[in-house]
Amino acid sequence: MNQAFKTMMSITTTRIGIVFALFVPLLFVLLWMTGYQDATQRIDRLQVAIVNEAGEAGAAISQQIEASAPFGTEIVADLDQAVSAMDSGDYSMVIRIPADFAASLQQGSAKLVYTINQGTSEVAAAMMEGAASQLTEGMNTAIAGGSASMPVQAEIVKTHDQGNFAVTMLPMILGFIPYIAMMTMNIQFNITAQIMKHRTGKWAVFWSRQLLLLLICAAAPLVIVSVARLFVEPAAPLWSMWLMLGCVFLASACLTQMSFALLGNVAPLFNVALVPLQLMTAGNIIPAAMLAPFYRHLGSFLPAPNGIQGFMRLIYNGDGAGVFAWHLLLIALVTWAITLLRTYLQPANPVPAAAAQQTGAPGKPSAAH
């Protein structure tokens, strides 16, 4: 047994497995503890739109909201414009001051309308709902003083509210899981490439691999989206969901492939290291703007955050994913170009003597006839 244990420990794959056992959980601890540190205290990073339909009377209310709100505020003239911008991720909530606010206030039945997008970060939606109650309570205190009357009521409108919990999980499934799939696939493809390089030229291996990746990135998303639509009905049509998922697959495949081209056997560690980073910066749990400053913009350069945000727009709104699709295509293009350059700089695969004799290439001299 001692000899078997020593033999096992001397094998490289055993040592890599031990590194993974410590590296993966430690990485989650380091990244998530530093990234989420004091995140809920950064509510001031969120933006809220105020739509004043009450003229001068509403202007005073707007100023009071701006002075007391814990988040950033911006005056928007049109309600539809504000709600559309909220659906695009520009605002976390829209506060509307109705045109009859002053008249209703005199009758003791005024209301402020808070529109909250449920198709976004769960933490942000919950914080906005809590902030709406606090703002209304503060306004009642300012207007009614110490009396028990509450002349201002809060009307909370939740857009894209989903009764089916499975729908809320779909952005994560379609936006993140393809990265895990492509990471695992490229581990196997790298082993295949190592086997083939002893009998096949490097460019033949490279282009065969690219063709296979392209076929997978076209076919697999169509199957996955079609199956997902058997259980839920997203707002976006099948073709847009398919194209978006294809972009996620392509960016994930090219990124994980690049790591093998640059790092070799260490690539799995690099690919796994991106997992907690992508989950943290995706914005579906907590808005990226509320993370520690170092992490806020990293998600724009990674497949899963763009995929998750894109699918949150498609599934809930039906559109608005274009910018995220372009980000994914740019990630795919840059990482694929790096892989191509690295392959070009690598020495050609050695041709076996038997193959050299068959092709007439220089090799070991054949026996004289």
- Angle formed at CA 300 by CA 235 and CA 282, multiple of 5 degrees: 60
pLDDT at 362 over 50: no
Helix or strand or coil: residue 286? coil
Parts of the chain belonging to CATH 3.40.1710.10: 46-159
Residue 268: burial class (beta carbons within 10 Å; 0-12, 13-18, 19+): buried
pLDDT at 365 over 60: no
Residue 346 has pLDDT above 90, yes or no: no
Report percent pLDDT > 70 for the chain: 93
Note the CATH number of domain 46-159: 3.40.1710.10
pLDDT in tens, 286-320: 888 899 989 999 999 999 999 999 999 999 888 88
Handedness of CA 9, 12, 13, 17 (dihedral sign): positive
Nearest-angstrom CA–CA distance, 275 and 14: 22
H/E element holding 57?
A: helix 55-68
DSSP assignment string, 151-186 = -EEEEEEEET--S-HHHHHHHHHHHHHHHHHHHHHH
**Residue 366 confidence (pLDDT):** 43
Q: What's the pLDDT at 44?
A: 87
Label residue 359 by pLDDT band (50, 70, 90): very low
pLDDT confidence tier of residue 96, bands split at 50, 70 and 90: very high
Is residue 6 pLDDT above 50, yes or no?
yes
pLDDT, tens digit, 9 for 90 and up, residues 170-218? 999 999 999 999 999 999 999 898 888 888 888 999 999 999 999 999 9
47 sits in which H/E element? strand 47-52
At 283, is the pLDDT very low, low, confident or very high (cuts 50, 70, 90)? confident
Band (pLDDT 50/70/90 cuts) for residue 352 is low
107-121, 193-207, 220-234, 327-341: which is most confident? 327-341
- Average confidence score pLDDT of the chain: 87
d(CA 322, CA 306): 10
Cα–Cα distance between 269 and 267 in angstroms, integer?
5
pLDDT at 278: 94
Least confident of 57-61, 233-237, 257-261: 57-61
142-178: pLDDT as tens digits: 777 656 677 888 899 988 877 777 888 899 999 999 9
Q: How confident is the model at residue 350 (pLDDT cuts 50, 70, 90)?
A: low
| pLDDT for res 246 | 96
| Strands 47-52 and 152-159, bridge-based pairing | unpaired
Residues whose CB falls within 8 Å of the CB of residue 304, separated by 6 or more in sequence, listed in order: 175, 176, 179, 248, 252, 278, 279, 282
Number of residues assigned to the chain: 369
